[in-house]
Amino acid sequence: GDLRQGDDATEYTFEATPLKANGMLYFCTPHNEVHALDPETGAVKWKTTPDKNRSYLQQHQTCRGVSYFDAGQQAQAQTGASPAICRKRIFNATTDARLLALDADTGKACADFGDNGVVNLRANMGEVRPHALMQTAAPLVAGNLVIVGGSVMDNGFNSGNPSGVIRAYDAVSGRLVWNFDPANPDNTTPVAEGATYPQDTPVAWATLSADLKNGLVYVPFGNASPDEVGLERDPASNTEKFRDALVALDLKTGAFKWRYQSSNHDLWDRDNPSQPSLVDINYQGKLQPAVILPTKTGNLFVLNRLTGEPVYPVEQVKVSTDGIKGEQYAATQPVSSLNFIPQPLTEKSMWGITPFDQMVCRTTFRELRYDGNPWTPPTEKGSLIFPGNIGVFNWGSVAVDPQRQMLIAAPVRLAYKYNLIRRTPETETQRTFTKDGTPYWNENFHGDYAIHIQQMASGLGIPCIAPPWGRMVGVDLTTGKTEWLRRVGTTKNLKTSFLPGRFPLGFPMGMVAHGGPLLTAGDLVFHGATADNFFRAYDSTTGELLWQTELSAGAQATPSTFMGKDGKQYVVIAAGGHGSLGTTAGDSVVAFRLK
């Protein structure tokens, strides 16, 4: 019932991964409804329906999941007593920047958490512009803490953007236990009442991870807004040090342990978008505790999770430092020995379904600046950025089999055009471009440049680069070798400017996949995510397609699996479509039972 209406954001996405806990199946909708279902039948046990603040100014209208906490077990372990209210809890972080605690049995607010079940995440943030601060990832529950990062509006304003502070709250009371502020990394004492976190710092909008055994939290920081212009950045500041950095913090105190920077002086919106994966890897005969960080560039950084040192070799490659006046370009960028950075494009790489299509794309290619690598500087003339800001990897992350030492990933290949639009004193608060009266998201008010980003596509709305646009890979983590690679997805249900309806035929081109794979101990990979509304199963050893079914809507989500009380294995996925990708909208969670 939670479907997009006219006033809702364009980026309206049902990306939740259902969570099996407490004998129920929990998930959230784009407007932060929380539903609890019977796992075997789908019958609704309870649901919460908050007021819907529908606004096209909301940059991301999504909720990728909820988290579960058993307060009784934690309290008994620490004090010998359990709380009287909400022993079992569901936590939901909302797009209007609130952290909610709900009774996992009934859905009622946990009155002893924060203010009657709510912690206001705008607290200590100073002035927050409308829709500028949001939560899209599931909160991290680790020990007796619930930990959140945050998301801000990209490229809306040059300054005054909310802090990227990481905050850890007591999961029972909602009390702030520690905060890690990228601007003040050495002081994790909870902020004083009435004080304000410094603004314009890197944010971690992706899902966090925790190593309970070693007492560490892993934070995948991204960029700070504005993403594509760094004229006012201070290279010596703490803010710059934590930009696009994977950061390890002490779980109990928030104290800084180590950081690893995945991009230098990011000018391309190369946030670390994926949840870090923790696995012990027997690489070249040496067993090491590792953390794997997928990136938009296509790097898979494999690091020792206790020290941050690379397990797989990393090389700093030289890149261009020639661009707009005053920009302090990084001279090198890191490249992991395990990467799916796409091969450079040439004019011959331009593609089309008609000769006219290809001609337009070739002409566009010649007009744009392109240095033959992912780090071509954005320019006023226009630059070809490959991969673009959707990345090779995004929020869906990767799947890992710790026993077989195997990694499954779904890299994407899409090129984008970036144009910087110089602002003047007369236009610093005026919109530089609109679409049907709706603002773009990269105005960067009061800044030096606005930013125009669009996919490099022909007039028919088809990518200019030759397919595949989406693939799946299987990697042996003991060697770093790619064992198999295959195209995923077909043209069936494809929508373009010349074909607003669904394309009726399914050519195996390899389609964009926005969502993650699921890898099971039964040697199966389950994957929706592709832009054709299909849900598929593959052999994890060979990549062979074993099964597929067409859903009623796009499954741009990550599936989950569980054992039912009937002894059967179930696989579930959200099928609700993705507004920006233009896939079929819906409001379903679909379950399959393995025979």
Residues with catalytic annotation? 269
Q: Name, in order, each residue with C-beta under 8 angstroms of 131's C-beta and a sequence gap of 6 or more.
A: 55, 57, 58, 59, 153
65 backbone dihedrals φ, ψ, rounded to 5°: 155, 165
For the chain, the C-alpha Rg in angstroms (whole number) is 23
Which residues in 135-265 belong to E strands, given as ranges? Answer: 140-142, 145-148, 151-152, 166-170, 176-180, 209-211, 216-220, 245-250, 256-261
525 beta partners: 519, 538
d(CA 202, CA 161): 10
The CB density around residue 301, as the number of other CB atoms within 10 Å, is: 27
412-450 burial, b at 16+ Cβ within 10 Å, e below that, comes to bbbbbbbbbeebeeeeeeeebeeeeeeebbbbbbebbbb
d(CA 187, CA 202): 17
Is the N-terminal amide bond of 226 cis, ω within 30° of 0?
yes
d(CA 221, CA 262): 10
Q: Is 304 left (phi over 0), alpha (psi -120 to 50) or beta?
A: beta
Q: Is 244 left (phi over 0), alpha (psi -120 to 50) or beta?
A: left
User: Which residue in the block uniquely carries the two structure tokens 């079914």?
Assistant: 549
CA angle (173, 174, 176) in 5-degree steps: 120
Percent helix, strand, coil in the chain (nearest 5)? 5, 35, 60
Q: Name, in order, each residue with C-beta under 8 angstroms of 295's C-beta and a sequence gap of 6 or more.
A: 262, 263, 270, 272, 273, 274, 301, 391, 392, 393
Task: Compute the Cα dihedral for 448, 453, 456, 457 and give only its sign.
Answer: negative
In a 3-state reduction of DSSP, which class is residue 531?
Answer: coil
d(CA 526, CA 548): 10
Q: Is 169:131 a contact under the CB 8 Å cutoff?
A: no
**Could you tell me whether strands 545-550 and 118-120 are parallel, antiparallel, or unpaired per DSSP bridges?**
unpaired
3-state secondary structure 539-575: ECCCCCEEEEEECCCCCCCCCEEEECCCCCEEEEEEE
Q: Is 89:174 a contact under the CB 8 Å cutoff?
A: no
In a 3-state reduction of DSSP, which class is residue 260?
Answer: strand
Q: Is 35:29 a contact under the CB 8 Å cutoff?
A: yes
